Amino acid sequence: MRVKDLFKQKKVFSFEVFPPKNTSSVDVIYNTLDQLGDLRPDFISVTYSAGGSGNSGLALDIASKVKSMGVVPVLHLPCINYTKSQIDETIANARARGIDHILALRGDINPDIPPAEDFTHASELIEYLRTKGDFDIAAACYPEGHPDSDSLDEDIDNLKIKVDAGADHLITQLFFDNEFFYEFREKARAKGINVPIEAGIMPVVNKKQIERMVTTCGASLPHKFVKIMQKYENNPEALRDAGIAYAINQIVDLAAGDVDGVHLYTMNNAYVARKISEAVSGIIEV
């Protein structure tokens, strides 16, 4: 079943994985996928690096593996560094493998890689994909506003262009304070954005992730979150359990707030995904 139709029946619960940088870790990711597949998510999305780094070549193979497990694969497709003919090639390869769900993205602009200039925004890629056949198309959104926008209102106006271009559903950037999600959703609905909005939840379970959160993620870190991370940052097991519990609390609250779905940034960690899935299965119909 298409993901856009699933939203009409239930809260959607999905996972995100990324291709390993090192090709010698391919067996590890396939093993992780087997474990994630056992949790029966509604789809698994596979990231694709905008600049082609991070072993994006593996993304299609990983998406094919997801499909072979009987789970819907969603292929991320950034456009800023790709020409139309490169995009054509990727979608033809996806089609040939039976992959018909795409998360259409601009991609982050890398100062060392000049944009390919065929696409400036994700909305243009979505318009283009709509001329290429029947894809189920997701797009990204930002509860705290995208860093390139001057305000959340401006970003939501641009999001409306993206949805009007043909996005079937939206997946949010990670956030640690659900109030940002609720305020964003209310504003988006008020501006006529009526497609399902899945909340992107990132369980922070190790010290490396905390450091990355603090320096690069752009999401606000609520006092409660910082207190927990500081308390357990040097106790790996406690930090893992605290990060899992924090994510579960976020999901329980979101479900009570009638969220359309939850997208778990698994960081390729099947243990964490399993703990969270088990804890919320009755609430979110996993």
Q: Nearest approach, Cβ of 234 to ligand FAD (angstroms)?
A: 30
Q: Nearest approach, Cβ of 257 to ligand FAD (angstroms)?
A: 19
Residue ranges in 33-52 that form contacts with ligand FAD under rule CB under 6 A = 47-50
State which residue, 21 or 224, has the beta carbon closest to ligand FAD: 21
Closest to 281 measured CA to CA, from 251, 242, 243 = 251
Q: Nearest approach, Cβ of 34 to ligand FAD (angstroms)?
A: 22
Closest to 162 measured CA to CA, from 186, 189, 127 = 127
Residue ranges in 247-286 that form contacts with ligand FAD under rule CB under 6 A = none
Binding mask 176-205 for ligand FAD (x = CB under 6 A): ------------------------x-----
State which residue, 59 or 239, has the beta carbon closest to ligand FAD: 59
Rounded-to-integer distance, Cα 61 and Cα 55, Å = 11
DSSP states of 117-171: SS-SSHHHHHHHHHTTS--EEEEEE-TT--TTSSSHHHHHHHHHHHHHTT--EEE
Q: Nearest approach, Cβ of 76 to ligand FAD (angstroms)?
A: 3
State which residue, 25 or 158, has the beta carbon closest to ligand FAD: 158
Angle between the N-to-C axes of helices 152-164 and 122-130, in degrees from 0 to 180, rounded to the nearest 10: 10
Q: 240 is written with which tokens? A: 């893992």
Q: Nearest approach, Cβ of 20 to ligand FAD (angstroms)?
A: 14
Contact 82, 115 (CB under 8 A): no
The rounded Cα 62 to chain-centroid distance in angstroms is: 16
Residue 106 touching ligand FAD (CB under 6 A): yes
For the chain, how far is it from start to end, CA to CA, in angstroms? 16
Contact 36, 15 (CB under 8 A): yes
State which residue, 143 or 243, has the beta carbon closest to ligand FAD: 143
State which residue, 29 or 105, has the beta carbon closest to ligand FAD: 105
State which residue, 164 or 278, has the beta carbon closest to ligand FAD: 164
Contact 239, 206 (CB under 8 A): yes
Site residue total, ligand FAD (CB under 6 A): 24
User: H or E stretch including 275?
Assistant: helix 270-284
Residue ranges in 116-175 that form contacts with ligand FAD under rule CB under 6 A = 121-123, 140, 146, 148-149, 155, 158, 161-162, 171, 173
Contacts (Cβ under 8 Å, ≥6 apart) of 149? 142, 155, 158
Task: Provide the annotated active-site residues.
Answer: 16
**The residue type at 40:** R
Binding mask 207-246 for ligand FAD (x = CB under 6 A): ----------------------------------------
Task: Give residues in contact with ligand FAD (CB under 6 A).
Answer: 47-50, 76, 78, 105-108, 121-123, 140, 146, 148-149, 155, 158, 161-162, 171, 173, 200
